[in-house]
Structure 1
């Protein structure tokens, strides 16, 4: 199981673009091989990846995730292809429909048929990324276009999928899924089987399963879980995540956080790997010292160097 680290807004703490680029450079210096950036209500993730990619040639990037509703697939495809050309094909493009509360209440868009939207969106996006001429007339999209970006190659596309309908779409029309606040039992008994079966039925390769969870190396797990309960409280309130927490039998996000000493963290990672997770999206949290120590642990586990932390821990 590969290990990547979430930077900036994905950790629940807004930070400036300059700070996030500095965090990525620090992670690369430690030998971390993959970082993930969210597209929430702050800086544009793909723009930062284009800039960071020029400064950190040895690291891979992913978005977790870019909401689809506010971006027409031709615009997102052009941006992703440009990032691929500028970074030497180091992008994983994670996309997702977001949540009704965001799409309708904040963006003022219609969220009545998210599965239909995602099926048509992935059809258009996938074709454009492959360089095909796309001619689609659907219920949510009508596109007749082709894009050409010299030096680009199609990025791997992952879908933020939680329920069975979205998981089947991810298996049939994308390269896998990226989850957040989904526990190991749910991953093993629900997420992975549905996704793998859909990919097999579509004749696609074995899908990527990227699982994102908070993580903290600490001698005081109880205090870390209390912090996680405060920092990640909003994810226990959004219906889509709440459904996954309920499926896991978790009271809230703190129950899914991977916390404790090194042995406890290793055991937590092993549980995820046994569940069928191919990549762990680690979101370090805690005090500045704990974040730095957690990143050192993860860097060592992913083949990087455990030492050499910067003054400002990445993700802090």
Structure 2
């Protein structure tokens, strides 16, 4: 199992410089990857191109995830390939549908039949990122283009939680990026579904990038309450709520990895047998204490 960090955007006066420092520290520590969300702050791809180029090193840099609806797939392919070239081939492009609350209520796009949207999106995005000619006309998306952009051949991971999306990710993409999904749900739902789809399509076993909050503490109850407060919105969004319900979790704090050093290490070690190929820690609380545990687990 590979280890990564969710670095996300800093809040200081020079966020790109601080982001670069975080990437450099993660690389120096020996982490395999660093990931950045794309919500309402910095554009993740642009930020990773700038900060990642400054930081250097061989660490993989991923987006977790870029929403698809506001970007034509050929345009996103061009941007991602450019970033991949700037990073020397270290980009992992994570994409996702986002949520009806964002896509329909904020941006004004239709969120009707999201699985159809993603299928059509990938029909254009995937060959475009390989530098191939794309001639495709779907119900909602079309393209007739061939990109000459450098940086072709990057991995594309799809945020997938439901059966249809997991099957799609396993059949055509390089894997999935998860958030707020506990190890029991990965073992009983995510891994079997996506792996079976890949096997049926004659493809290699896909990556399962599992991102979870992590807090190393002696006060588990307080840390769990804090997780429920920080990540409250994810307990209400339908897609994540469905995963929490599968896990038997009341709220985000119930899937967060919380406890003292030994407990956190044991919880992380349980992820690999569940099917996780890449664990990404979203650290809150005592960052240095968590860093030491993660470093030990990654080398263990």
* C-alpha contact 1:21 1:48 (8 A) present in aligned 2: no
C-alpha distance in 1 between matches for 2:215 and 2:75:
37
Q: State the Cα distance separating 1:295 from its structure 2 match.
A: 1.8
The range that moved more, 60-69 or 20-29, is 20-29
Calculate the TM-score normalised by the size of structure 2.
Answer: 0.95
Answering whether residue 277 of structure 2 is matched by residue 281 of structure 1, we say: no
C-alpha distance in 2 between matches for 1:105 and 1:17:
30
1:314 corresponds to: none
Q: Over the residues paired in the alignment, what is the CA RMSD in angstroms?
A: 1.5
1:194 corresponds to: 193
C-alpha distance in 2 between matches for 1:57 and 1:275:
30
Q: State the Cα distance separating 1:22 from its structure 2 match.
A: 2.6
2:4 corresponds to: 4
- Find the residue that maps to 1:8 and give its secondary structure: coil
Q: State the Cα distance separating 1:226 from its structure 2 match.
A: 1.2
CA distances 1:231-259 after superposition (whole Å, capped 9, x unpaired)? 01110010110011011100000000101
C-alpha distance in 2 between matches for 1:14 and 1:129:
32
Answering whether residue 277 of structure 2 is matched by residue 298 of structure 1, we say: no
2:218 corresponds to: 219
C-alpha distance in 1 between matches for 2:262 and 2:104:
44
CA distances 1:58-87 after superposition (whole Å, capped 9, x unpaired)? 311111000000111111101111111111
Number of positions where the alignment pairs a residue of Structure 1 with one of Structure 2: 297
Q: State the Cα distance separating 1:293 from its structure 2 match.
A: 1.5
2:65 corresponds to: 65
2:37 corresponds to: 38
Answering whether residue 68 of structure 2 is matched by residue 92 of structure 1, we say: no
2:163 corresponds to: 164
Q: State the Cα distance separating 1:123 from its structure 2 match.
A: 1.1
- Closer/same/farther in 2, CA of residues 253 and 14 from structure 1, 3 Å limit: farther
Q: State the Cα distance separating 1:14 from its structure 2 match.
A: 5.5
Q: Which sections of structure 2, spanning at least 5 residues, go unmatched?
A: none
1:183 corresponds to: 182
**Superposed counterparts of 1:105-184, under 5 Å:** 105-150=105-150, 152-184=151-183
C-alpha distance in 1 between matches for 2:24 and 2:269:
28
C-alpha distance in 2 between matches for 1:18 and 1:234:
29
C-alpha distance in 2 between matches for 1:48 and 1:297:
28
Q: State the Cα distance separating 1:299 from its structure 2 match.
A: 2.7
Q: State the Cα distance separating 1:166 from its structure 2 match.
A: 0.5
* C-alpha contact 2:63 2:93 (8 A) present in aligned 1: yes
C-alpha distance in 2 between matches for 1:60 and 1:300:
20
* C-alpha contact 2:171 2:197 (8 A) present in aligned 1: yes
C-alpha distance in 2 between matches for 1:252 and 1:14:
26
Q: Which sections of structure 1, spanning at least 5 residues, go unmatched?
A: 305-316
* C-alpha contact 1:94 1:178 (8 A) present in aligned 2: yes
C-alpha distance in 2 between matches for 1:166 and 1:96:
10
* C-alpha contact 2:3 2:278 (8 A) present in aligned 1: yes
* C-alpha contact 1:25 1:52 (8 A) present in aligned 2: no
1:310 corresponds to: none
CA distances 1:5-37 after superposition (whole Å, capped 9, x unpaired)? 00125xxx7663333223222323333331000
C-alpha distance in 1 between matches for 2:105 and 2:18:
30
- Closer/same/farther in 2, CA of residues 60 and 143 from structure 1, 3 Å limit: same
- Find the residue that maps to 2:157 and give its secondary structure: strand
